[in-house]
Amino acid sequence: MKKVFLLLLTFAGLTSFSQSNTSTEKMKASTSINDMMSKNSLLSFKVLSYNVFYQPKGGDAETFKNNGPYFSPEVKKAIQKAKAGDVYYIEEIKVMGPDNITRKIPGITFKID
């Protein structure tokens, strides 16, 4: 089962920490972690929780805990601040697979262009 799961995560692109550049508009239009992941990368996994670390260019960092796939009001507020040079780290992503086992998957980083 472990090999099959690893193969599934590899296919989905979830086996390593990934970094992506995105526009301010796309970042501000996001309402959940699912909007920020590549198409079908979570497949049939349910997002349980994750942490968002917001590092504004030249400013003080902020950290937020989020439950479920949709952004909390605090995370939405931080995302609405997005501007060129800011970086958002989504880490400690916990998901539940179709087998009802909770797993932690690698984080993702978004740098605002």
pLDDT, one tens digit per residue, over 56-77 is 999 999 999 999 999 999 999 9
When pLDDT is cut at 50, 70 and 90, the band that residue 79 belongs to is very high
- The answer, yes or no, to whether residue 22 has pLDDT greater than 90, is no
Place of tokens 């526009």: 23
Q: How far apart are CA 34 and CA 21, in angstroms?
A: 16
Mean pLDDT of 35-54: 78
Q: Which range of residues forms the domain containing residue 89?
A: 2-112
pTM of the predicted structure, to 2 decimals: 0.76
- The total domain count for the chain is 1
Strand partners of residue 104:
94
Q: How far apart are CA 113 and CA 23, in angstroms?
A: 5
3-state secondary structure of 29: helix
| Mean pLDDT taken over the chain | 80
